[in-house]
Each structure stands twice: as structure tokens, then as C-alpha cells.
Structure 1
């Protein structure tokens, strides 16, 4: 997935209220964690049921 598409997907998750991070990363460690989460979540997302609750729970577990 391209970086642009990943950013669009994260923006959509934020609008839907399923993205587990409310604020921007505070430091490099948090930024690296967020980038890793985004990469894994975009891969997993395609295989999740359409249920917002299921997606939110899965993201919380990631």
C-alpha cells in the first residue's frame, strides 16, 4: 500500500472513531510505533468484518 493511500486510510479510521491514537506522536519512539501500527493495521484491515465494533476491538488489540 502506498504512503498516500495509508494516510487516507488512517484519516478515514479517525473519522470513523476506530483509530486508537487520539493525538500526534510526542517523540521518535511514538512515531515509530505509530508507523508500525499503521502498516500492520492496513494489512489486517482488508480481512476484518465490516462491523465497526470488531474493527475497533481488533485495532485496540494490535
Structure 2
């Protein structure tokens, strides 16, 4: 039986990610207007909101 990984995001983290147009759909963050999908796990592990914001901006610029 496979275990299920549950990711927990702080309200501040979700607000920041959503501010840039992403929405959490299951275990994936989706930016519908730009056609971007990223595994939610890739948005975890940052030690500050500033680092998370830099990552989100990098994802948006990579398209």
C-alpha cells in the first residue's frame, strides 16, 4: 500500500503563490492563463517568503 504525502502550506505562503495567479488543484499548482503546472512539492522548503516569491517569479519567467 502506497503512503500519501500531505503538504501543508501556511496561509501566507498560499496567499503569496495565489497573488501571482497560481491555484492549488490537488497536488499541483496551476496558472491557467499561462498554462503552467508545477508539482506543489516544488513550492515547499523555502526558509522565507522572499525566497518563495523569487522562486514563483522564476517559474513565471521560465515560460
* Band of TM-score, shorter chain: 0.3 to 0.5
TM, length-normalised to structure 1:
0.42
TM, length-normalised to structure 2:
0.42
Name which one, 1 or 2, has greater alpha-carbon Rg.
2
Question: RCO greater where, 1 or 2, for CA within 8 Å and sep 6 or more?
Answer: 1
Which structure features the higher share of strand residues? 2
